[in-house]
Amino acid sequence: MDSQGYDIGVEYKTHVENIGWQDVKSNEELSGTFGQSLRLEAIQISLTGADADKYDIYYQVHAQNYGWLGWGKNGESAGTEGFGYRLEAIKIVVVPKGSDAPAIDSTLLPFYKK
C-alpha cells in the first residue's frame, strides 16, 4: 500500500545476457544478477494490487546502440533481445486509466528481438 492509501505494487522481470528472461520479482526485489558483469537487455513491468486496474504503467528504456526506444506499457517487453546490448537508462510513469499516454514517437518500437 502506498502513502496515498492505494493498494498498488509493481512486479517486473528482466532479460539478462546469456541467461534470458528471469522469474518475476516484485516491489524492491533484485532482478538481474549481482557480481557477474552480465547486461540487463530488456524489462517487463506490471502493476499489482487491488487498485492496479485503475492505472497504467508506461516505461521507456535507453538501449546501447539504439538510444531511447518507444514506450512499453503494462507488461510489454522494452529493450532488446539477442543483440547483447545493455539497458542504459529507464523512465517510468504511472498514470490513471484513461489518461493521455506519455508523448510517443510512433516510429519507435519498445522492443527489438534478433
Judge contact between 9 and 26, C-beta under 8 A.
Answer: yes
Q: How confident is the model at residue 2 (pLDDT cuts 50, 70, 90)?
A: low
High-pLDDT (> 90) share of the chain, %: 78
Residue pLDDT, tens place only, 63-110? 999 999 999 999 999 999 999 999 999 999 999 998 877 876 667 888
Judge contact between 60 and 66, C-beta under 8 A.
Answer: no
Residue range 54-61: average pLDDT? 95
